[in-house]
Amino acid sequence: MPTPRFEDANGVVDGVNTSFTTNLAYEPGSLEVFINGQLKRTQDEDGWTETGPQSFELKEAPIIISGEPEKVRVFYRGADSPGTIAENLVGVISEVEELTGTLQPVQELVGVLEEVETLTGVIVEVDELQGTIEEVDELIGVICECP
């Protein structure tokens, strides 16, 4: 099963550029595009089009607002990326600068996250999810196929 990925798209945000790429090739039809956290749909006026196995074209160029470029992020299933299998993950993650990764599939995830600046990742096919997240500056990720 291909590994889902959630990451910043590659490309210049300048109000003109509409061409962006992903870090890895994606399965056709699996790409989702977000501008500043807002999901864009391919059929909408401000949507996008897949242009290659690792590229896409936005219908509207992202702009710079108050000196900050709009954030273009993507979610996709990697075309050839392997997954990691974990039966149980139990523990405490504390004072971590950045935590990035993929867990797929996981039977049980139990734990505590404290003082994490950035948490980025994907949890797929989780039967049980328990835990506490404290003092996290940014939480980015996808949890899917939970019963």
Name the domain boundary from 46, 77, 108: 77
Q: What CATH number should be reported for the domain holding residue 16?
A: 2.60.40
The total number of residues written for the chain in this structure: 147
| pLDDT tens digits along 98-133 | 555 555 555 455 555 555 555 556 555 555 555 556
Regarding whether 101 and 42 lie in a shared domain, the answer is no
Provide the pLDDT for residue 21.
Answer: 98
Is residue 122 a contact partner of residue 74, using CB atoms and an 8 Å limit?
no
What is the phi/psi pair of residue 41, to 5°?
-105, 140
Q: What is the tally of structural domains in the chain?
A: 2
Structure tokens at 24: 């890895």
Regarding whether 72 and 18 lie in a shared domain, the answer is yes
Q: In this model, does residue 73 exceed pLDDT 50?
A: yes
pLDDT (mean) for 43-72: 96
- Residue found by looking up tokens 């994490």 in the block: 116
Q: In this model, does residue 89 exceed pLDDT 70?
A: no
Q: C-alpha distances in angstroms, 135 versus 6, 113, 123, 138?
A: 22, 8, 20, 9
More confident of the two residues 80 and 52: 52
pLDDT-derived band at 86, boundaries 50, 70, 90: very low
Regarding whether 96 and 66 lie in a shared domain, the answer is no
Q: Which domain holds residue 70?
A: 4-77
Name the domain boundary from 77, 107, 123: 77
Provide the pLDDT for residue 3.
Answer: 79
Name the domain boundary from 29, 51, 77: 77
Estimate to the nearest angstrom the gap between the alpha carbon of 132 and the chain centroid: 21
Regarding whether 72 and 95 lie in a shared domain, the answer is no
Q: Round to whole Å and give the CA distance between 115 and 101.
A: 18
Regarding whether 9 and 62 lie in a shared domain, the answer is yes
More confident of the two residues 50 and 132: 50
